[in-house]
Amino acid sequence: MNGHAENSRTETAPVVVTPAVLREWELPSAGASKYDRGQVVVVGGDRRSPGAALLAAEASLRVGAGRLTIALAEGAAIMAAVALRESGVVALPERDGQIVGSSIEAARDDLEPADAVLVGPGLDDAEQTLALLDRLPALVGDETTVVLDAYALGVLPRSKARDAFAGRLVLTPNPGEATMLLEAMDDGAGSDDEGAGSGDDGDGSADDDIERTVRALARAYDAVVSCQSRVAHPDGRLWLVGTGHGGLGTSGSGDVLSGAIAGLCARGVAREEAAVWATYAHAAAGDRLAVEVGPLGFLASELLLELPRVLVEVG
């Protein structure tokens, strides 16, 4: 279904996410093997920031995905294979530390059977990311869920992937990125500045602005959108996650969230349910660490161990 059709849908009142709401969306069983829990490919990790891809990749396993591959810059491939021994690794050729976009072809054998593909964590060159994203539709299966984060969001308005993946996209922008993506649709051109826009018009209604922006973004891109504790579906539904602590605003936290969403999508969870589950688990993990470590100063990597505990406690 295209974005224009979704624009005609009626918006519903936001649903506040509680454990009771989540229990109505029972997560899939463990299955008999890792293949029953889905295959994830994380594409990201330029030489300067491979840790972002590793955080996202591990998060996908922590929420129960069965098989994982990371496609990242060749200069970081050996380190990644050692750091996350549970993952397969595809070394992508690079230029000046950035993955060459056309080199994504090297990951074809892993991308084709993937149930969920996450693109963006640790990529830091807009033009190479655009070249990579443009090639992706020809490499993944027709039913693959595609999760976009970071630079992959910044180039999406200019990419062929925008239309190719409509109806199976999950976007994980911050409020500034969400505003930029909407403005790009209006302007007919994209910006690669991740910090563009604020979503706050200065009248004290920042929360209302974010809600409107997230709903509009979901419709415009025919995507499920997770943005600052809000999850929107293109059909007008919106969920609000009331938990979550300010300490989540730390380096790598968004990578953990996007990886958790990809992992749940790979397990066969509907993309809106996966986004709500992951957004809640990510926020609840932050709450737990705020008590155990302190309101500030816990690390994104510490969220990883909390994710399966939250899922068990809620489920």
- Residue numbers in the known binding site for (6S)-NADPHX are 52, 122, 255
Locate 50 and state its tokens.
């491979």
CB 109, CB 91: distance < 8 Å:
no
DSSP structure string for 184-210: HHHHTS----TT---S--SSS-HHHHH
Edge-to-edge order in the sheet of strand 39-43: 15-17, 238-241, 230-232, 223-227, 169-171, 145-148, 116-119, 39-43, 67-73, 88-92
Locate 70 and state its tokens.
């990371």
Residue 194 burial (CB < 10 Å; 0-12/13-18/19+)?
middle
Residue 150's nearest CA partner among 109, 118, 105 is 118
Gyration radius (Cα) of the chain, Å: 18
Locate 284 and state its tokens.
């609840």
CB 48, CB 20: distance < 8 Å:
no
Question: Residues annotated as binding site for AMP?
Answer: 254
- Cα four-point dihedral sign 20, 290, 227, 143: negative
Question: Residues annotated as binding site?
Answer: 52, 122, 254-255
Measured CA to CA, the distance from residue 257 to residue 153 in angstroms comes to 15
CB 44, CB 121: distance < 8 Å:
yes
Inter-CA distances, 228 with 8, 131, 210, Å? 25, 28, 8
Residue 226 host element (H or E): strand 223-227
* Residue tagged 């409107």 (tokens): 212
